[in-house]
Amino acid sequence: MCSRIQWNSKGQPVLVGRNMDWTDWQTKMGTKLRTMPAGVEREGLVDENPLKWTSKYGSVITTVWDCATADGLNEAGLAANLLYLAEANYGERDSSLPGVSIALWVQYFLDTCATVAEAVEAAKACQVVPFQLVHMGENVNAPLHLSLSDASGDSAIIEILDGKPHIHHGPEFTVLTNSPVYDEQLVLLKQYDGLGGTKPIPGTMSAEDRFARSAYYLTRLPEQPASYQVAVAGVLSVIRNAATPFGGSDPAQPNNATTIWRTICDCTNKRYYFEFCHMPNVVWVDLDDLKLSAGASEQLFDLDADNDAAGDVSGKFKPAEPLVFQKANTPVTWTPAA
């Protein structure tokens, strides 16, 4: 489930769009927006040799289940997005490597890295350890992979396969969905018209079809849009084309699930857009208008509790207790508020 695209053209902002797809669309995964200030000491929440760091950059993030960072943008212009990957295999714990719970994986990069290149090197020096979640009635190690983007247009895809990070690094890696693994997705892509082959662009909800459709429509965006608003709207038009409608979840195919929310990261201008798919309103924040310096408290904005909010919601964030991240190898027990 989920789709991600990155678009940038000469003289245009680097824009990253993503869909979050999930089977339980009614609860919306308890999704909220939070600010994470600089200067916070964290650890990786594993039993042995936890990774330790102090946040260098503030960020705005999207949290799920009140215990994990799923998406976000930091004040250096680095964007990170978690997506579903059924083939993820975390392997055995190697305590010689500093470990980090996957609940903090996105946050670690946003806290400590300004560029994709820095994040790629950081990914090689630690081990990601999953938490457990109930999906389709089964308790599983959270099967996820990660995309990264920065203000230069650089990009990376990181998959944990056989216990090790498999990394595709370069500005050409502009699209990510789900299964199969990324190497195979790139091969499948070449069979379609406009992308190396002759087959027509597919239209189903499957991950490989969303991958091809997103890659194709990215090539159709104008290199020089008429305005900034048109550039953002163009990226929205492509990522919405990869969405799965309400009622589209297939219990037999976890890679096919309803799109419940969407973000756009403007890595150039440090603006973060968010929308719930069951609502027509888009909200955004400019990171320069948020309290992200060392010593600031975490702040929270819950669009699900403020259905009339639209446009710039920087002033709607309120002080909040620090997020309690999910420890590795423990089950998520979140339940929606009554």
pLDDT band at 281 (very low <50, low <70, confident <90, very high): very high
Summarize the confidence of residues 66-73 as an average pLDDT: 98
Largest CA distance in the chain: 57
What are the residues facing 84 on neighbouring strands?
144
**Tokens 């245009």 map to which residue?**
12
pLDDT above 70 for 213: yes
Could you say which DSSP state residue 47 is in?
A: S
Helix extents (H) in 125-254: 182-189, 207-218, 228-241
Q: What local confidence, expressed as pLDDT, does residue 176 receive?
A: 98
pLDDT above 70 for 254: no
Q: What is the Cα–Cα distance from 10 to 13, expressed in whole angstroms?
A: 8
∠ CA(14), CA(156), CA(71), 5° rounding? 70
CATH class of this structure's domain 3-319: alpha beta
Convert the pLDDT of each residue in 141-160 to its tens digit: 999 999 999 999 999 999 99
- Mean pLDDT (the chain, rounded): 94
Q: What is the Cα–Cα distance from 222 to 86, expressed in whole angstroms?
A: 34
Closest CA to 254 of 30, 88, 53, 48: 88
Q: Cα 206 to chain center, whole Å?
A: 19
**Tokens 């104008």 map to which residue?**
222
Tokens of 176: 């990510």
pLDDT above 80 for 8: yes
Please say whether the dihedral angle defined by the alpha carbons of residues 333, 157, 1 and 15, taken in this order, is positive or negative. Answer: positive
Q: What local confidence, expressed as pLDDT, does residue 241 receive?
A: 95
**Domain locations in the chain as residue ranges:** 3-319
Q: What is the Cα–Cα distance from 48 to 46, expressed in whole angstroms?
A: 6
Catalytic option among 2, 67, 113, 126:
2
Residue 322, preceding bond cis, omega within 30 degrees?
no
What are the residues facing 16 on neighbouring strands?
6, 265
Percent of the chain residues past pLDDT 70, beyond the cut? 97
Summarize the confidence of residues 152-169 as an average pLDDT: 97
Residue 2 annotated among the catalytic residues of the structure:
yes
Helix (H) or strand (E) holding 117: helix 116-124
pLDDT band at 336 (very low <50, low <70, confident <90, very high): confident
